[in-house]
């Protein structure tokens, strides 16, 4: 049992060391990649990402049916006016009233 604990702890320590080196290399590559950026470039990238996010949200809403196209008020009133005379002529007027 003692040897299992010894080899197990050695394996975990070795794995931790390897993961630490991997994390350090990733952080180093990120620092190298972002070394030439200034604040104006970062602000432009942030604005572009916000625009893309809004476009994707609008597209998803359209696909889900949440963002239906809006009708103009005048077109809606014209449609209602066109339907009213047909209903009054075709319907039975004796049922109208209190």
Q: Would 89 be classed as within a structural domain?
A: no
| Averaged pLDDT, 17-35 | 94
Q: Would 43 be classed as within a structural domain?
A: yes
| Total domain count, the chain | 1
**52-61: per-residue pLDDT in tens?**
999 999 888 8
pLDDT confidence bin for 15, thresholds 50/70/90: very high
Range of the domain at 62: 39-83
Q: Would 55 be classed as within a structural domain?
A: yes
Q: Would 69 be classed as within a structural domain?
A: yes
Q: Would 4 be classed as within a structural domain?
A: no
Q: Would 65 be classed as within a structural domain?
A: yes
- For the record, the structure tokens of 47 come out as 């604005």
**68-87: per-residue pLDDT in tens?**
555 566 777 777 788 875 55
Taking the whole predicted model, whether its pTM rises above 0.75 is answered as no
What is the distance between the alpha carbons of residues 41 and 64, in angstroms, rounded to a whole number?
Answer: 35
Q: Would 27 be classed as within a structural domain?
A: no
Q: Would 54 be classed as within a structural domain?
A: yes
């Amino acid at each position: 049992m003692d040897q299992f604990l010894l080899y197990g702890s050695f394996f975990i320590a070795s794995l931790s060391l390897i993961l630490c080196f991997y994390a350090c290399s990733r952080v180093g590559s990120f620092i190298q990649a972002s070394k030439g950026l200034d604040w104006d470039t970062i602000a432009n990238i942030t604005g572009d990402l916000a625009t893309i996010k809004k476009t994707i949200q609008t597209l998803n809403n359209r696909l889900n049916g949440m963002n239906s196209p809006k009708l103009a008020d005048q077109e809606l009133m014209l449609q209602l006016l066109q339907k009213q005379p047909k209903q009054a002529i075709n319907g039975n007027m004796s049922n109208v009233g209190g």
